[in-house]
């Protein structure tokens, strides 16, 4: 027990109603963390088409897949024999010059008319290349998450998750047998990693190399908060009945 610490404010000695309150919170927040983990695996985890979270997933989600547009990929792939090299080059150049409507009217529409619409415009299920919109839809380059949704998700995370960490840390601050310094570090870690995580989303939007920082940030605050949650539960419910444990046994209450 730290000097000057009142044993009434130690997890093993808390009043039953306070333990009930803390436990209810811990159980629900713990569940929330598990569900959040599953959600990350199912959305970001699948971004590269393979199950499991990888650096590629993060890069695809935030930076985008900035290789060729689908139109270019096809023109260099299964549609390669459908147009001459000159026509294919004109199409690719047009895509890179923002697929403008004026160039479509003067030149590009004609190329599609003579090479593509005999199938794309007739065969059901294939995109109709008589229409500029359907060509454009395949000419876009995926630049990842938009600034709009990045801003929205960032502020929700900053406000929402810091609330969770606040209470997790507060409950854990009543833990006993752990030095004040160690507790201070554990309480601070989730906030630091949360900041790193969100900063890394923004950095990854422009520099894909930062993708690994979001993974480290996520793992860092998950581990630190899981430890605090489990340790708090342990100290409230198991520690009072056990005297041989990894953590020091509780000191008998001074007031009783
Ligand atoms: C002889 C018929 C035919 C012609 C001509 C043709 N295509 Fe296709 N195209 C297809 C078929 C069939 C598919 C679906 C199979 C595949 O993706 O390879 C397809 C698929 C595509 C796709 C992928 C569509 C998607 O929804 O992902 C693109 C892009 C495409 N073609 C571009 C072109 C362009 C550009 C031209 C003209 C230079 C062209 N095609 C000419 C038959 C044709």
| pLDDT tens profile 223-254 | 999 999 999 999 999 987 765 445 555 555 55
Answer yes or no: do 160 and 235 share one domain. Answer: yes
- Considering the domain architecture, whether residues 153 and 227 belong to the same structural domain is answered as yes
Residue 163: predicted pLDDT = 93
Burial of 108 (0-12, 13-18, 19+ CB in 10 A): buried
Q: What's the sign of the alpha-carbon dihedral 197, 203, 206, 211?
A: negative
Per-residue b or e along 132-168, where b marks 16 or more CB atoms closer than 10 Å to that residue's CB: beebbebbeeeebbeeeebeeeeeeeeeebeebbeeb
pLDDT, residue 243, reads 54
Q: Do 219 and 159 contact (CB within 8 A), yes or no?
A: no
The answer as to whether 114 is a domain residue is yes
pLDDT of residue 244: 41
Domain that holds residue 85: 70-139
Same domain? For 80 and 32 the reply is no
Query: Final residue of a domain: which of 80, 107, 139?
Result: 139
154 CA to middle of ligand 1, Å?
39
Please name the residue whose Cα sits nearest to atom 14 of ligand 1: 126
CA-nearest residue for atom 20, ligand 1, is 126
Note whether residue 203 is domain-resident: yes
Statement to judge: residues 150 and 30 lie in one domain: yes
Residues 171, 57 share a domain: yes
Answer yes or no: do 135 and 53 share one domain: no
> 189 and 122: one domain?
no
pLDDT of residue 5: 61
Residues 50 and 74 in one domain: no
The residue among 102, 121, 139 that closes a domain is: 139
pLDDT of residue 120: 95
Predicted pLDDT of residue 237: 92
Handedness of CA 196, 198, 203, 205 (dihedral sign): positive
Which residue's C-alpha comes closest to atom 34 of ligand 1? 116
pLDDT for 245 equals 42
Nearest ligand 1 atom to the CA of 70 is 29
d(CA 94, CA 190): 48
Structural domain contains residue 201 = yes
18 and 41 fall within a common domain: yes
- Dihedral Cα 256, 167, 184, 212, nearest 10 deg: 150
Identify which of 90, 115, 116, 136 to mutate to test ligand 1's pocket (most ligand atoms within 8 A of the CB): 116
User: 120 C-alpha to center of ligand 1: Å?
Assistant: 7
The list of the chain residues with pLDDT below 50 reads 1, 244-245, 255-256
- 214 assigned to some structural domain: yes
How many domains does the chain fold into? 2
Same domain, 182 and 213: yes
Is residue 250, in this structure, part of any structural domain at all?
no
4: left (phi over 0), alpha (psi -120 to 50) or beta: left
Ligand 1 pocket by C-beta < 6 Å: which residues?
Answer: 70-71, 74-75, 78-79, 82-83, 115-116, 118-120, 126-127, 138
Pick the atom of ligand 1 nearest to 111's CA: 38
Cα of 244 from ligand 1 centre, angstroms? 71
150 and 231 in a single domain? The answer is: yes
Q: Is the whole-model pTM more than 0.85? A: no
Per DSSP, the three-state class of 184 is helix
On whether the CB atoms of residues 53 and 211 are closer than 8 A, the answer is no
119 Cα–ligand 1 center, Å = 7
For ligand 1, atom 15, name the residue with the nearest CA: 78
The last residue of one of the domains, among 139, 155, 174, is: 139
C-alpha span between 5 and 113 (Å, rounded): 82
Statement to judge: residues 42 and 127 lie in one domain: no
Comparing CA positions, the residue from 89, 102, 247, 255 lying closest to residue 176 is 247
């Amino acid at each position: 027990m730290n000097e000057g610490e009142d044993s009434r404010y130690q997890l093993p000695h808390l009043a039953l109603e306070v333990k009930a309150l803390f436990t209810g919170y811990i159980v629900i927040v713990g569940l929330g963390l598990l569900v959040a983990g599953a959600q990350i695996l199912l959305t970001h985890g699948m971004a590269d088409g393979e199950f499991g979270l990888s650096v590629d997933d993060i890069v695809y989600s935030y930076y985008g897949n900035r290789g060729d547009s689908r139109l270019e990929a096809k023109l260099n792939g299964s549609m390669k024999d459908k147009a001459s090299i000159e026509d294919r080059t004109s199409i690719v150049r047009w895509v890179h010059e923002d697929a403008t409507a004026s160039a479509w009217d003067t030149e590009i529409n004609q190329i599609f008319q003579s090479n593509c619409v005999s199938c794309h415009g007739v065969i059901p299920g294939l995109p109709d290349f008589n229409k500029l919109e359907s060509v454009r839809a395949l000419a876009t380059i995926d630049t990842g998450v938009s600034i709009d949704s990045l801003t929205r998700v960032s502020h929700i995370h900053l406000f929402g998750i810091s609330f969770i960490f606040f209470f997790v840390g507060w409950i854990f601050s009543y833990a006993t047998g752990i030095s004040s310094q160690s507790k201070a570090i554990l309480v601070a870690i989730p906030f630091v990693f949360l900041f790193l995580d969100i900063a890394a989303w923004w950095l990854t939007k422009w520099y894909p190399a930062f993708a690994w920082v979001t993974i480290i940030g996520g793992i860092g605050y998950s581990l630190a908060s899981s430890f605090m949650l489990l340790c708090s539960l342990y100290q409230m419910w198991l520690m009072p009945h056990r005297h041989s444990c990894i953590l020091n046994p509780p000191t008998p209450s001074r007031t009783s």
